[in-house]
């Protein structure tokens, strides 16, 4: 799915400074893009606008031609979108493997629901879940309840869940926060391997950002860089004079 933002501005009620300030941005179908920028620059808000969780006061957003501000169109967007959120949103009380398959639930038949209710996972997903979990270093944890996992382990379950559902759009908000360098790289590799899928990843990490073909940097809610070859000087400009929002 392609994404088009035109003159998007979004403010929160208790803030004088807008979180997003006149953002115009086009992301093509199948493109892999990193949102880079200092803390508070608007990365999460931008992802939340694409997901319809924040509705901008001005401007227009289209995701695959659909308007996320309209509930009926938002449902269609969400059906095709995999999300890895900061702090993730796994279902406590369920095993890691159950959480991993939850994104595919709309396609389950009776037999698959029965497998899930027994604490197992539908057989058609087993091979892929195990392979993805192996790549993310959580294969041995699949039967554990998610409340017994560390933050970084949960983050990786959320990534497996997002990828398993074979979305057309993959949105990942700081998917490597809390991960060590090796597991962080595994997460990045999984996102980069999503061929044909539109991928938008937010990060603070320059090393991660540079592995993606396009970097869109935000500062103070505005796009301050959009390109593929981020130099040290570009990076300094993105991060220098970072103001703490009111
Ligand atoms: N629900 C909210 N209510 C009020 N202000 C908010 C809310 N969400 C975000 N903001 C503010 O909007 C601005 C942008 O926040 P956002 O979370 O988009 O930044 P970010 O670039 O994702 O930051 P980080 O890298 O720290 O996650 C910040 O000033 C933040 O305090």
CATH node for 1-80+167-246: 3.40.50.300
Test site for ligand 1: of 8, 9, 45, 221, most ligand atoms within 8 A of the Cβ: 45
ipTM score here?
0.96
**For position 243, what pLDDT does the model report?**
45
Distance CA 37, CA 32 (A): 17
Asked whether 245 lines ligand 1 (CB < 6 A), one says yes
Nearest CA to ligand 1 atom 16: 42
Nearest CA to ligand 1 atom 5: 12
Please measure the distance between the N-terminal and C-terminal CA atoms of the chain and give it in whole angstroms. 35
- Ligand 1 atom nearest 218 alpha carbon: 21
CA of 16 to the centre of ligand 1 (A): 13
- Ligand 1 atom nearest 45 alpha carbon: 18
Asked whether 45 lines ligand 1 (CB < 6 A), one says yes
Residues 6+ apart with CB under 8 A from 101: 116, 121, 122, 125, 129, 161, 164
The count of residues in the chain is 246
**For position 162, what pLDDT does the model report?**
94
- The domain spans of the chain are 1-80+167-246, 88-165
CA of 150 to the centre of ligand 1 (A): 25
- Do residues 178 and 152 make contact, with C-beta atoms less than 8 angstroms apart? yes
- Do residues 202 and 174 make contact, with C-beta atoms less than 8 angstroms apart? yes
Select from 42, 50, 89, 84 the least CA-distant residue to 67: 50
What is the gyration radius of the CA atoms in the chain, in angstroms?
Answer: 18
Per-residue pLDDT of the chain (246 residues; tens, 9 = 90+): 999 999 999 999 888 889 999 999 999 999 999 999 999 999 999 999 999 999 999 999 999 999 999 999 999 999 999 999 877 789 999 999 999 999 999 889 999 999 999 889 999 999 999 999 999 999 999 999 999 999 899 999 999 999 999 999 999 999 998 889 999 999 999 999 999 999 999 998 999 999 999 999 999 999 999 999 888 888 888 888 554 433
- Ligand 1 atom nearest 41 alpha carbon: 21
CA of 202 to the centre of ligand 1 (A): 13
Asked whether 12 lines ligand 1 (CB < 6 A), one says yes
Asked whether 141 lines ligand 1 (CB < 6 A), one says no
Asked whether 41 lines ligand 1 (CB < 6 A), one says yes
Asked whether 14 lines ligand 1 (CB < 6 A), one says yes
CA of 18 to the centre of ligand 1 (A): 10
Distance CA 51, CA 234 (A): 29
Distance CA 59, CA 110 (A): 44
């Amino acid at each position: 799915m392609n994404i088009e933002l035109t003159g998007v501005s979004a403010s929160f009620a208790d803030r004088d400074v807008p979180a997003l300030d006149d953002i115009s941005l086009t992301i093509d179908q199948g493109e892999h893009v990193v949102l880079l920028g200092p803390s508070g620059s608007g990365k999460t808000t931008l992802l939340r606008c694409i997901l319809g969780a924040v509705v901008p006061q001005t401007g227009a957003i289209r995701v695959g031609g659909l308007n996320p501000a309209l509930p009926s169109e938002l449902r269609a967007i969400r059906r095709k979108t995999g999300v890895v959120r900061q702090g993730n949103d796994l279902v406590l009380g369920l095993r890691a493997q159950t959480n991993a398959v939850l994104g595919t639930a709309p396609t389950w038949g009776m037999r698959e629901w029965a497998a899930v209710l027994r604490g197992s996972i539908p057989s058609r997903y087993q091979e892929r879940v195990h392979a993805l979990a192996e790549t993310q270093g959580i294969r041995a944890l699949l039967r554990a309840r998610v409340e017994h996992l560390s933050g970084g382990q949960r983050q990786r379950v959320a990534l497996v869940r997002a990828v398993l559902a074979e979305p057309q759009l993959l949105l990942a908000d700081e998917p490597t926060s809390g991960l060590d360098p090796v597991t962080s790289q595994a997460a990045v590799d999984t996102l980069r391997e999503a061929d044909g899928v539109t991928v938008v990843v937010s990060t603070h990490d320059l090393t991660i950002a540079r592995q993606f073909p396009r970097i869109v940097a935000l500062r103070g809610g505005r796009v301050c860089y959009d390109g593929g070859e981020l130099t040290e000087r570009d990076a300094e400009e993105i991060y220098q004079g970072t103001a703490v929002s009111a």
